[in-house]
Structure 1
Amino acid sequence: MPRTTRVVALAAAGLLAALSLAEAQGATTDRPPAADHTSRLARYYAQHPAWHRCDTPGAPASYQCATVTVPVDYARPDGQTLRLRISRLRTSRPGERHGVLLSNPGGPGNRGLGNPLSLKDALAKSVLQRYDLIGFDPRGLGASSPLRCGLTQDQADDTEPYRPYRAATFAKDTADARDIAAKCTTRNGSRLLPYINTRNTARDMDVIRGVLGEKKLSYLGWSYGSYLGAVYTQLFPRHSDRIVLDSAPDPNRFGRGTVLDMAAGAEPAFEDFSRLIARRDGTYHLGDTPAKVRAAFWQLIARADSTPLLYQGDDPEHQGEALTGTDIRSWLRPYFAAAPYQAAHEITALRTSRPTNRATRPSTGPADATTDNSVGLNWAITCADNTRSWPRDPARYQRDARNESARQPLYGDFAANITPCAFWPRGSEPATHVDNTVGALVVQNQWDPQTPLPGGRALHRALHGSRLVYVRGGRGHAVYGFPGAPTCVTRTVDAYLTGGRLPAADVTCAS
């Protein structure tokens, strides 16, 4: 999922290759869990990591790190390898220990090595006593054999990776998308890039499980991390223990479908926003009916697209910027769902902003290494996990962007416009189809701006053994373990993680 501004990624090689990959990770065998990988992978599962104190300022001595080796290509485990960085915080109650709890914070492109430290402060003691907390940077990211693309600052804009469609700029957008794909391909090529995908990250997770000496893996993932967890359950159902998937995309639409779903979710959120703000016309003065509120917003957009507005509001990220209508749509889209009153406050302030001739120049200097890695990894997974979801013909994006802009004016042109995925090398495997009976908890806010509610419901349907914890009226992206999480959600997830029993039926919580 794209990482919005602070509210808050190569066709099948044929039947024989697909069969060899299934055999390589043991998905179709009947061997017992302790030995359901092929002998060619045994050396990876048999590693004994050398734990040592992590080089993290201020971290307790009990926070330990180690390195695990995995194959670049699981179909050819005797070939090149990658080094994954993993971390752990062991339970203070060994006698009450159930196992390990591995986690992923999402992205793709968000590092997870420090997750144990975050979870130590966020989770209940009853949960912490049951698990060793395990973190890791996924392959290609952070401390785990990071890929590099050499992007410019403008190309590595991680606040809004999707560009709005404009006929006048489409040729430039196409050239820029092609350049990003070419840079990532040139620097990483066939040696690494085709093997940076969610399936291989899930396989890496199972190697981590084996290295830790565990028969099963419990898992906690948010956003893209929930998709990663779902793929793990598909590939390793017998090793899936207590699985919590929070704020999920539709697992069987990952790729372009995920981005288009964000645009589809923005429209009902905007409608809900307009109803809420119409009731507070005395505060925001945007109109006393939903229609008037919407009209006030679109009048602002038209004005800013005609002449940019100088922002002098409360958000330090945009202070002093010249904002076009397109900038405002991109910025406020997640706020309509997650923080509608903040959105109304910003619209009210912008309506009194003065026009400016100040131009925003593209940042052509090189991006810093961390951002280059994160954004490149995001594109690598978004593009390669489901290559067939991305058209190869630029003209198709033009047609789609025009149509989606008409149907979904808030964000449709962003979601449907051309991206580097149009020029990305074909992935090494087909998309993963998630459809299994593994038990899991799926947690979902009603008004999630990044992974809208239909995605969470779709994941719940794909995991036939799951239960849905639905937060009616819930706003924002990510729920469990975050400030403001409803007690109902925390209580339900804590009970599952500590006791291992799913609720008898789906759970609806009030926000």
Structure 2
Amino acid sequence: MTKIKRNAALLAASAAVLSLAVPLTTATASTTDAPKPPPLDWTTCQGEGLDPRQECATVEVPMDYAAPHGKKITLAVSRIPAENPEARRGALLMIPGGPGGGSLNDPSGKEQKLPQEVRDAYDLIGFDPRGYGRSTPVTCGLEHGDLALTKLRPWPAPDGSVTENMATAQRMADACARNGGELMRHISTANEARDLDRIRAALGERKISAWGVSYGTYVGAVYNQLFPHRTDRIVLDSNDDPDHTRVARGWLAAYETGAEDNFPEFAKWASAPGNPDRLAEKAAEVRPLFLRLAARLDREPIPWPGANPEELNGNVLRQTMLDSLYDPDRYPALARLILSARKGTVPPAPQGPPEAVLQNVVAVGAATMCNDVTWPESPAVYQKGVAESRAKYPLTAGMPRNAMVCAAWPYQPQEPAIRITDRGPSTVLLVQNERDVATPLSGALKLRAALGRRAVMVTVDSTGHDAYLANGNACGDRTVSHFLTTGERPARDLYCDSGSGGAQDAG
């Protein structure tokens, strides 16, 4: 594996840690009051393993769009120019997932999987969102223990208590307020969408196309809502529920159904004859085996030197389960952890991203989720939700309805979250795996309904997070590539069957 691929994998894993009609005021409705950015000054990108064609630049944007002539921050932007200038249509913006992820190196990475006709037609554009990576960065300076996945995702105590989660939320929020600086208040989905329009303007494009993945689908939908006549061809891949009253709180809750949708696929794999990591003879035996082991580890954790936390407990096992359901290629790691734990042993401690990177990812993710919408502050709200969730969805043990850092966030949202509507041009193609642990089909259907006539949706008979050119299938990939190349979408929603490789009407 090349260094760029290893780094991309680490950053994708760290971004997955947080993954996750109301009019605007006149002062924040658009970017038109901000000075027009100058043309970009492209230079050689820093970093190893990059395509030599990739160029980098910076765009200056207002830190606060309500004060467009005030303090500025910078956004790091990259591109690989269209490979056939005669066929060039424009720019294809890669909107990363997260919140707390970037796409700056994607033109050298995953974008090279795009078909030749797409790479011929578009400049491939990556960027680091405000607060992240090579853009003006933020950090919360969290304690090492609070960077554990089982802290960042709010797993309750073995008995279901949320007391420790509330204390963790307060400690993390205090650190973000103390160390994050003024920019922490201005990191939000709406401001990222406004930043995208500044990037579009700096590129000199009248309209821009985009491929948004995971959280990037919500960013893309918000951009399309705020700037509908500046969008060309928009692909939203692995789609978030756009409920503007809950936003990331709803995305967290979606893990309940996401785990239930996906665990049966792991169970079938883990019980297949000939599998060297086989856990049981029948698929129906895998779920109770997992639940029994998690409960045992709640009572009797196994020391795990070098891990964070330094023990394999029930919640670490549950979090590993969620991580593994993102991609069937991760099933063996989960099965081997289960096999080791049943013997009272552990594998080597997993390697995480560098702590400085994780600190940055977590800060951007926390700021985005907490600044988008107000979360409840009452422990009773979370305790009730956790109890209900544990009873109905035992795989996730109440975590999806528990308190994150936002329960103690010191700042109020500066504007209402953007409501996605069906008003605007019909320029959107949604692609969605049928079984997705992080952005389940049930949430994607809500985005499809909100967009109405503006969108067409392709549902793919596949398992895992990220569909197009990743965990989807050939039918879905063909449909998206054809849209990007020609602008032609299916006449109606489609279902891409994995068996025949063909498409049929979804209705």
* TM-score bracket, shorter-length normalisation: 0.7 to 0.9
Could you say if the C-alpha distance between residues 345 and 6 of structure 1 is closer, same or farther in structure 2, counting changes exceeding 3 Å?
Answer: farther
Where do 5+ consecutive residues of structure 2 fail to align? 1-10, 499-507
Specify the code of the residue in structure 2 equivalent to 1:202. A
Cα distance in 1 between the residues matched to 2:51 and 2:460: 35
Measured against aligned partners, the alpha-carbon deviations of 1:387-433 in whole angstroms (never above 9, x if no partner) come to 2xx21112321222122111211114212222110111111111111
Aligned-residue offset at 1:206: 0.6
The counterpart of 1:353, out of the listed 343, 350, 375, is: 343
Q: CA deviation at 1:374?
A: 0.9
Instruction: Check if 1:448 corresponds to 2:436.
Output: yes
Counterpart of 1:295, as a letter, is P
Deviation of 1:201 (Å): 0.6
Which residue of 418, 422, 431 corresponds with 1:432?
418
* SS of residue matched to 1:381: helix
**Higher Rg:** 1
d(CA) in 1 for partners of 2:45, 2:327: 35
Q: Deviations over 1:332-374 (max 9, x none)?
A: 1343574396377337614641269xxx9xx9xxx83222111
Give the C-alpha shift of residue 267 in structure 1.
2.3
Q: Which residue of 2 aligns with 1:216?
A: 207
Provide the rounded CA distance (Å) in 1 between the counterparts of 2:382 and 2:445. Answer: 28
Aligned positions of 1:67-78 closer than 5 A:
67-78=58-69
Of 405, 408, 418, the residue aligned with 1:420 is 405
Q: What's the counterpart of residue 29 of structure 1?
A: none
Q: Does 1:258 align with 2:251?
A: yes
1:174 aligns with 2:166: yes
1:393 aligned onto 2:393: no
- My pick for the range that moved more, 300-309 or 397-406, is 300-309
Give the match for residue 460 of structure 1.
448
- Distance across 2 between alignment mates of 1:496 and 1:219: 12
CA–CA distance in structure 2, aligned partners of residues 165 and 116 of structure 1: 40
Equivalent of residue 18 in structure 1, options 25, 33, 39: 25
How far apart are residue 330 of structure 1 and its match? 1.6
Deviation, structure 1 residue 310: 6.5
Q: What letter matches 1:142 in structure 2?
A: G
Rounded Cα–Cα distance in structure 1 between residues aligned with 2:50 and 2:264: 45
Q: Distance in 2 between matches of 1:59 and 1:348?
A: 37
Q: Please name the residue that 2:332 is paired with.
A: 342
Structure 1 residues 351 and 373 mapped into 2: Cα distance closer, same or farther (>3 Å)? closer
Query: What's the CA shift string for 1:149-194, capped at 9, x where partnerless?
Result: 11122222357621321269744332221111111112235x3222
Alpha carbons 2:27, 2:65 under 8 Å: kept: no
240-249 or 416-425: bigger deviation: 416-425
* Structure-1 separation of matches of 2:337 and 2:273: 14
Within the candidate set 452, 459, 472, 1:470 is matched to 459
Q: In structure 1, what is the Cα distance between the partners aligned to 2:279 and 2:85?
A: 59
> Partners of 1:396 and 1:496 in 2: how far apart?
44
Letter in 2 for 1:401: V
Q: Is the 8 A contact 2:145 2:309 kept in 1?
A: no
1:242-290 Cα shifts (integer Å, max 9, x gaps): 0011111101242211100112321233355446656759983535462
Q: 1:319 to 1:151 in 2, by over 3 A?
A: closer
Residues 115 and 443 of structure 1, relative CA distance in 2, 3 Å threshold: same
Per-residue deviation, 1:197: 0.3
Residue correspondence of structure 1 range 99-498 to structure 2 within 5 A: 99-157=90-148, 161-166=152-157, 170-189=162-181, 191-252=182-243, 253-271=246-264, 273-274=266-267, 284=278, 286=280, 288=282, 290=284, 292-309=285-302, 322-336=311-325, 338-339=327-328, 342=332, 345-346=335-336, 349-350=339-340, 352-354=342-344, 368-387=355-374, 390-424=375-409, 425-436=411-422, 437=424, 438-464=426-452, 465-472=454-461, 474-482=462-470, 485-498=472-485
Structure 1 419/369 Cα, relative in aligned 2: closer, same or farther at 3 Å? same
For 1:59 and 1:272, locate their aligned partners in 2 and report how far apart those are by CA, in whole Å. 36
Unaligned runs of 5+ in 1: 26-36
Seen in structure 2, the aligned counterparts of structure 1 residues 333 and 280 have a Cα distance that, compared at 3 Å, is: farther
Structure 1 residue aligned with 2:88:
97
CA contact (8 A) 1:5 1:160 kept: no
- What TM-score do the two structures reach when normalised by structure 2? 0.84
What is the percent sequence identity of the aligned residues? Answer: 35
> Is the contact between residue 310 and residue 354 of structure 1 (CA under 8 Å) also seen in structure 2?
no
In structure 1, how many angstroms separate the alpha carbons of the residues matched to 2:485 and 2:432? 20
Q: Which residue of 2 aligns with 1:83?
A: 74
TM-score scaled to structure 1, two decimals? 0.84
CA RMSD of aligned residues (A): 3.2
Q: 2:443 is matched by which residue type in structure 1?
A: G
Distance 1:300 1:73, change over 3 A: same
User: Offset of 1:439 from its aligned partner?
Assistant: 2.0
Question: Are residues 163 and 270 of structure 1, via their aligned partners in 2, closer, same or farther at CA, if it must alter by over 3 Å?
Answer: same
Provide the C-alpha distance between the structure 1 equivalents of 2:137 and 2:370, rounded to a whole number of angstroms.
17
Give the distance between the partners of 1:7 and 1:72, measured in 2 at CA. 26
Cα distance between partner residues in 1 of 2:363 and 2:338: 36
Q: CA, structure 1 residues 287+348, in 2 after alignment: closer, same or farther (shift >3 Å)? A: farther
Compared CA separation, residues 332 and 117, structure 1 to 2 (3 A):
same
Q: Is the 8 A contact 1:270 1:337 kept in 2?
A: no
- Counterparts of 1:309 and 1:46, CA distance in 2: 55
What is the CA–CA distance in structure 1 between the aligned matches of 2:266 and 2:149, rounded to whole Å?
A: 26
Q: How far apart, CA to CA, are the structure 2 residues paired with 1:421 and 1:415?
A: 14
Contact residue 435 and residue 464 of structure 2 kept, 8 A: yes
Cα gap change, 1:207/1:275 in structure 2, threshold over 3 Å: closer, same or farther?
same
SS at match of 1:226: helix
1:3–1:158 Cα contact (<8 Å) kept:
no
Q: Provide the C-alpha distance between the structure 1 equivalents of 2:340 and 2:442, rounded to a whole number of angstroms.
A: 32
Q: State the secondary structure of the residue aligned to 2:469.
A: coil
Which residue identity lines up with residue 403 of structure 1 in the other structure? Answer: E
> What is the SS of the residue equivalent to 1:129?
helix
Go from structure 1 to structure 2 and tell me whether the alpha carbon gap of 1:278 and 1:62 turns closer, same or farther (over 3 Å shift): closer
